[in-house]
Structure 1
């Protein structure tokens, strides 16, 4: 974490000493995260989407979709309500003081069964933020949310395994095809790393259409990775599945 990030963190602690933290939904006192246990259950997904490549992709007749290059994606929370608002503020309004609370929400959503799932991976990486946006914000959101937590679980975390080869426009207003065109060839594997034969967990803050993670996974697989799985703090509603799927 940068000096500015550390300063925001300690100022947040001081603020909470003076003004105790409250649940962002109901206002009930909480010690960790943004949500009390009751409200957290409303947002919690812990839902794994498992994928199988399409025949047309395997035959070379289609550009890759998430199901073609990702083995699975684990979505921790619904991208909705206060969490959607928090991520928007974090990414577009410079609200870095939210990072510690969102990290605690990541920890709250990774119970022991999911930690055993995590142990299968050789490398943990994140979707890289462009250098310009990282300088503007003072932090890289996916790296800040996931890497310190996963390193504490004895996983090999590489914040710079992937690098941005070129600048891309913001994606939130683009449809799936426009996102694919905007992201094509935007990632590369940092030359000093070897991914051949490695099982890689790729982390991001939001999973919407899956286009960003799919492009990153494609690059890793072309570099020789054995498999790529995804982990996202929040998933858009189209990825939530049904109650029966999540049970």
Structure 2
């Protein structure tokens, strides 16, 4: 006799039951952070999860081993972090990196979250932030330009990136948008590296 929790449901019988991307035990390894801050050029930032061993493994598998199916893992949480009042702008990767990786990890997260976005920024620097020291990241300049022909309105824009480490990437992107006329620039990141 099967335990009650393993009894087949009508949904599973007719193939309507949704399959999980991760098992419950793996999902429990991710630690919610829900860090919200208000700042200077970047008016507000909300980071959903803490960067730890489990998140490092997920990020490596997703971004560098190109396991695109893992974008589904956080789709619901990411979708719920937006209102319908802002224009969503993903942090871009440099075209050379995109060719090597074969996909834009941030755009794929947004697509799985079913959130429309507009690419207003282009990356000008090919350097990889994850390969730089904290000091090198803080000293980087001119990471982004507006996409040619982009029109920035005096509205709220919400930047989206996978991880917030020093905040340099988001602040520089926010600066470009504000200099072009954005009224407010906020950000959502999936992960937050908590500095010790």
TM-score range, shorter chain: 0.7 to 0.9
Matched, 1:47 2:7: no
Residues 39-98 of structure 1 deviation map (CA, whole Å, 9 limit, x = unaligned): 5355242614221xxxxxxxxxxxxxxx32112222122222222112123333xx222x
Q: Counterpart of 1:119?
A: 84
CA RMSD in angstroms, aligned pairs only: 2.4
User: Is 2:138–2:166's contact at 8 Å kept on the other side of the alignment?
Assistant: no
The CA distance in 1 between the partners of 2:23 and 2:53, in whole Å, is 12
- Distance between the aligned counterparts of 1:49 and 1:233, measured in 2? 12
The 2-side partners of 1:109 and 1:149 are apart by: 8
> Which of 97, 100, 107 pairs up with 2:69?
100
CA contact (8 A) 2:33 2:50 kept: no
Question: The residue matched to 2:75 in structure 1 has which SS?
Answer: helix
Q: Distance in 2 between matches of 1:125 and 1:110?
A: 14
Give the unaligned 5+ runs of structure 1: 1-29, 52-66, 240-247
CA contact (8 A) 1:46 1:74 kept: no
Aligned match of 2:102 in 119, 127, 138? 138
Give the match's secondary structure for 1:172.
helix
Of residues 174, 186, 189, the one that matches 2:132 is 174
Q: C-alpha distance in 1, partners of 2:23/2:189?
A: 18
Confirm or deny: 8 A CA contact 1:200 1:229 kept in the other structure: yes
| 1:199-214 equivalence runs, <5 A | 199-214=156-171
Quote the Cα distance in structure 2 between the aligned partners of 1:238 and 1:35.
29
Is 1:157–2:117 an aligned residue pair? yes
Is 2:52 the partner of 1:80? Answer: yes
Whichever structure has more helix as a proportion of its residues is 1
Q: How many residues align?
A: 179
The corresponding residue for 1:227 is 184
- Shift of the 148–91 alpha-carbon distance from structure 1 to 2, 3 Å rule, reads closer
Aligned-partner Cα distance in 1 for 2:117–2:27? 27
Q: Secondary structure at the match of 1:70?
A: coil
Q: Which residue of 2 aligns with 1:191?
A: 148
> Which residues of structure 2 form unaligned runs of 5+?
1-17
State the Cα distance separating 1:110 from its structure 2 match. Answer: 4.2
3-state SS, counterpart of residue 195 of structure 2: helix
